[in-house]
Structure 1
Amino acid sequence: MKLVSWNVQWGRDAQGRVDLGRTIETAKRLADFDILCMQEITRGFGVLPGGPGPDQFDEIARALPGFTVLCAIGADLPPLDGSRHRRQFGNAIATRLRVSQVIRHSLPWPADAASPSMQRVALEAVVETKRGALRIIVTHLEFYSLKQRLAQTDELRRMQLEAADHAAHPAPAENAAGPFAATSRPVSAIVCGDFNSEFGSEAYRAFVSPLPGAPSFIDAWTTLHPGATPPPTAGVYDTAQWSSGPITCDFVFVTEDLRGRLRSCDIDGTTQASDHQPIVLELD
């Protein structure tokens, strides 16, 4: 199973040109992926630099026939200039695997008067693989506020404990057709995205600290490259937005029970199709 995680900045490359279709083609060249997890996908946000199209979730679906495309909106704001489209900003998962369950988590947003911020979300999809069900979670944590990032990190860890509890104590469905479906969720998970937390930072360390009663998270890249420091994932080519220099803030974490299934995890350092670099994970 191959997964690509990428903050695609609504298809805007390091030179400021927007072409989400080109971005998806770049991802295809990186890997024959089963799952593509993207951050910074928009709908009705044509005012953003480069002028993204009116519905990028629809663009993804048209570019990836045969894939299920899921969305989770964080910022959801009223239209501007008479447009009928709300301005929406969030995350997407595109997968050719069967999706048995989708959960959209609104992440904590504690007040921080010193920092601009937006509502953040985590999009969870339970996919069926040949080795059993697996939770795929894509997220994008707050950029400006450490207080909010730490709260969001804590919530992602709480979600793992909740999933473990559901796995241990599943409830049956009320019936075959209604919304009260079976509550079982797999404890094994991949959590990926732009954490806006540098490698080794307080939020990073908190996320990978042990979890009582559930498999904890490990960094897939560092697990497969022991003793090495991951290369930068943001600001490598877009030096205008990242004038203070490149950082490593994009990660793919897996639950520790998946350690033995890790085959490869690579950060592509060559593409300039976004201000972030994509990560490619392969599991046995």
Structure 2
Amino acid sequence: MLITTYNIQYTRGQDDRYDLERIVDTVKDSDIIALQEVENYWDRSGNISQSEAIARLLPDHYFVWGPTVDVLKVSDAEGKRPTDHKRRQFGNMILSRYPILSTRNHMYPKFTAPGPHTIQRGAIEALIQTPSGPVRFYSTHLDHLASRHRMVQLQELVKVSNRAFEDGPAIGGREIVPSWREEPALPDMPREAILLGDFNFEPTSPEYEWICGAVNQWHGRLPDASGFVDAYVAAGGAEDEGHTLYRDIAAKAGIRIDYCFVPAWLSSRISKCWVDEQATGSDHQPLRVEIDL
């Protein structure tokens, strides 16, 4: 199975051109696609619904869309009620060749500084019926301003993931009201979960250590057996390689802030993980993962 996570920067490429089809061409070969910075009805990207357009261009994929920013789109200078009811939205998306059985959109605590630009952050959850059974996938985008903010959001994401089995499916209970019963019936929430997205922290950060484990001078990284591991490292990559946000495009060098985190017990099933260095559709590079699920 091929998984791709990609912060598409609302389709603004390295040439400053907005090109949604270029993004789709980059990810269309993937079985599971996690996107961040997808937006609907913003002036800067042509006032289109990017989530609907991406879904339309990938007809072989199921999709779910989770806006974290959702505000009124006013096209009238007098502020009259618009007849088309459009809203400016910005958030995360997941597409899958396999059925997406259910979805939940989780919001993180929001931090507002007196001056810098801040936005609501969150994660979209997709319960996907893979060939080997249901697996939960999350597409997320953490805060860009401060480590402390990201830590709170990261811990909330892992808490949501760990709590999913206890929470149960979106429609559940032993005595479901008959009018709520339709096929397919939802399975119990699986324990397996894969976290994807732009986490906005580097491997040297306290957030990375929190999710991947501390470093021992003799034994290296010490992941918790019940926690998550970095798929790029599990596949043989070095923590300081695999840059996904270039500071020097020509040299393909910068920082690594986009990740796929998998449960430690799944790490042996990752056959390959790499950065698509040829993609030019965003200020980020896609991260690709081959895994046997």
- On whether the aligned pair clears a TM of 0.5, the verdict is yes
| SS of equivalent to 1:252 | strand
Q: Distance in 1 between matches of 2:66 and 2:249?
A: 26
Show the 5 A alignment for 1:1-284.
Answer: 1-28=1-28, 32-46=29-43, 48=44, 51-82=45-76, 84-113=85-114, 115-166=116-167, 171-172=173-174, 174-175=176-177, 177-178=179-180, 184-209=188-213, 215-225=226-236, 227-236=238-247, 246-284=254-292
| SS of equivalent to 1:235 | strand
Is the Cα contact below 8 Å between 1:112 and 1:145 reproduced in 2?
A: no
| SS of equivalent to 2:70 | strand
Shift of residue 110 of structure 1?
3.7
Q: Distance in 2 between matches of 1:86 and 1:248?
A: 33
Structure 1 residues 79 and 219: CA distance shift in structure 2, 3 A: same
Structure 1 residues 52 and 217: CA distance shift in structure 2, 3 A: farther
Q: TM-score, normalised by structure 2?
A: 0.83
Unaligned runs of 5+ in 1: 240-244
Q: Distance in 2 between matches of 1:173 and 1:145?
A: 45
CA RMSD, Structure 1 to Structure 2 (Å) = 2.6
Structure 1 residues 163 and 214: CA distance shift in structure 2, 3 A: farther
Is the Cα contact below 8 Å between 2:140 and 2:196 reproduced in 1?
A: yes
Larger Rg: 2
Structure 1 residues 218 and 179: CA distance shift in structure 2, 3 A: farther
User: AA paired with 2:202?
Assistant: E
User: AA paired with 1:174?
Assistant: I
Q: Distance in 2 between matches of 1:39 and 1:33?
A: 16
Q: TM-score, normalised by structure 1?
A: 0.85
| SS of equivalent to 2:148 | helix
Shift of residue 147 of structure 1?
2.9
Q: Distance in 1 between matches of 2:140 and 2:289?
A: 16
Deviations 1:8-34 (A, max 9, x none): 111111011001111111223xxx211
Structure 1 stretches of 4+ with a deviation exceeding 4 A read 179-183, 236-239
Unaligned runs of 5+ in 2: 77-81, 215-223
Structure 1 residues 173 and 199: CA distance shift in structure 2, 3 A: farther
Q: Distance in 2 between matches of 1:174 and 1:214?
A: 36
Structure 1 residues 56 and 257: CA distance shift in structure 2, 3 A: same
Q: Distance in 1 between matches of 2:137 and 2:179?
A: 24
Q: Distance in 2 between matches of 1:206 and 1:173?
A: 40
Alignment: residue pair count: 269
Is the Cα contact below 8 Å between 2:240 and 2:256 reproduced in 1?
A: no
Structure 1 residues 86 and 65: CA distance shift in structure 2, 3 A: same
Structure 1 residues 226 and 45: CA distance shift in structure 2, 3 A: closer
Q: Distance in 1 between matches of 2:290 and 2:179?
A: 35
User: AA paired with 1:75?
Assistant: V
Structure 1 residues 238 and 43: CA distance shift in structure 2, 3 A: farther
